[in-house]
Amino acid sequence: MDIIRFPHRSVKFCSFCIVLLLVMFPFSIGCTGVVQDTNMKSVSSDSIVVKDSLNNTIEIPSKLKRIVVQNFDAVELLLALGAEDYIVGVPDNVLEDPEFQGKLKNAQSVGNWRTPSPEAILNLQPDAIIMLTSKTYNMDAILQLNTTIIYIDCYKIDSLPAEARLLGKVTGKESEAEEYIAYLEKYLELVSSRIPADGQINSSRIYAEKYNDYNPQGSGSGIDELIQKLNGNNIAADMEANTRVSPEWVVEQNPDIILKFVTSSTLQSGSSLEDTYNSVINRTGFENLNAVKNNQVYAIHGDPFFSPRVVVGLLYLAKIIYPDRFSDINPEDALREYGEKFVSGFENTETIYPKN
């Protein structure tokens, strides 16, 4: 992708100046510096070049002061870095979320997160728009705004450190980003130290289901990344995103562990994780599955698994896959630490049923 640059003032040179430049050019070449960091580098005193999670190279102001954030998880990560004052626009679901109440004092609505309003974004005059890598349904209209777009996810465990550093760099919160990354790495190292060092895949066969029934967490999903990091055995690891399977397929696979993920909106509407758990174990034909017979079915609130709190989700999964190796670990301790250091309000949210 071509680097997007800010306009420069045009200057008229006289013939003498042109000749002088031609004479001086060979001598100036030897004075140029080569920047080694390919992900972020300065190109002038007031701008930097960064690479987003789609590997786009973008030139932006050295510090963003007005940001529209379409990505829910990027809002949370900016909060974790203490950069909330730079957020001027967010989707409705962010403003309506109880955990974000009172934390985004400068933010106005830009409409639905799937189809944000181009007019609302334009009126806010942002320096940049932060969006999910999956983009929106109305990308053509957003692109016509001719505003810099940074694509990041902020929930996948492997890309989070780089995304945190990017946000820290563009908001002047580098030290806060490193503190957050240290938090991630502490628990990643804990998990790595306890799972088998030989890399052998765990024998328990896992069926992880997205929010929609019979929509498994396939290749490239955030949950598949977590399972792979634990050397787990995801029976849908070879499936593409948004693949649908039949009830008969699940019965035939006879998984040892079933993970059913539930949205915040489902829980806020009055349904409980226990309700979801009961609906799964009572599906036709599931009574004979190993997971049901051995009490290895879990209804899970998706937020800690699809957010900057993803290491909390990793710890919950580690306890499910390796109950003996992580019996002394309480993921809620990691969640409390997150609340104390970064973003509060998530500590009392029920994450898993039944508790493991």
Residue 105 amino acid letter: K
For residue 24, what pLDDT is reported? 39
Q: Which two three-digit tokens encode residue 12?
A: 């008229």
Q: Is residue 32 part of a domain?
A: no
Range of the domain at 254: 199-353
Is residue 231 in some structural domain?
yes
Residues 208, 334 within the same domain:
yes
In a domain, residue 18? The reply is no
* The pLDDT of residue 17: 38
Q: How far apart are CA 332 and CA 89, in angstroms?
A: 31
Quote the pLDDT of residue 349: 83
Q: Are residues 253 and 148 in the same domain?
A: no
Who contacts 54 (Cβ-Cβ below 8 Å, separation ≥6)?
133, 151
Distance CA 303, CA 318 (A): 17
pLDDT at 267: 87
Work out whether the CA dihedral 323, 211, 121, 106 comes out positive or negative. Answer: negative
Contacts of 87 (CB under 8 A, 6+ apart): 67, 68, 69, 75, 78, 104, 106, 107
Indicate the pTM of the whole model. Answer: 0.85
CA 209/CA 351 separation, integer angstroms: 16
Please identify, among 177, 212, 232, the residue that sits at the C-terminal boundary of a domain: 177
The tokens describing 298, both together, are 């879990």
Q: Do residues 64 and 127 lie in contact, with contact meaning Cβ atoms separated by under 8 Å?
A: yes
- In this prediction, residue 242 carries a pLDDT of 84
Residues sharing a CB contact under 8 Å with residue 90, sequence separation 6 or more, in sequence order: 68, 69, 70, 75, 104, 107, 108, 109, 110
> What is the C-alpha separation between 182 and 204, in angstroms, rounded?
31
Same domain, 203 and 173: no
Query: Contact 83/171 with Cβ under 8 angstroms?
Result: yes
CATH code where residue 315 lies = 3.40.50.1980
User: Where is 130: in which H helix or E strand?
Assistant: strand 128-131
Please check whether residues 168 and 270 belong to one and the same domain.
Answer: no
In DSSP terms, 109 is beta-bridged to: 90
**Ordered DSSP codes for 158-181:** TTHHHHHHHHHHHHT-HHHHHHHH
Q: Examine the domain organization and report whether 206 and 329 are in the same domain.
A: yes
Sequence-distant (6+) residues with CB within 8 A of 280 are: 258, 260, 286, 297, 299
Same domain, 171 and 216: no
Q: Which of 147, 177, 207 is the last residue of a domain?
A: 177
Specify the 3-state DSSP secondary structure of 223.
helix
Q: Is residue 23 part of a domain?
A: no
| C-alpha count within 13 angstroms, C-beta hemisphere, residue 120 | 18
- Taking only the tens of pLDDT, the chain with its 356 residues reads 444 433 333 433 334 333 333 333 343 333 333 233 345 555 556 889 999 999 999 999 888 999 999 999 999 999 999 999 999 999 999 999 988 999 999 999 999 999 999 999 999 999 999 999 998 899 999 999 999 999 999 999 999 999 999 999 999 999 999 999 999 999 999 999 999 988 899 999 999 999 999 999 999 899 999 999 999 999 999 998 789 999 999 999 999 999 999 998 888 888 999 999 999 999 999 999 999 999 999 999 999 999 999 999 999 999 999 999 999 999 999 999 999 999 999 988 889 999 98
CA angle 95, 96, 101 (to 5 degrees): 65
What letter represents residue 212's amino acid?
A: N
Q: Are residues 145 and 216 in the same domain?
A: no
Angle at 231 between CA 318 and CA 342, to 5 degrees: 45
- Rounded distance between C-alpha atoms, residue 347 and residue 146, angstroms: 40
Regarding whether 215 and 280 lie in a shared domain, the answer is: yes
Whole-angstrom Cα distance, residue 46 to residue 33?
17
Predicted local distance difference test score (pLDDT) of residue 39: 53
Q: What is the pLDDT of residue 46?
A: 83
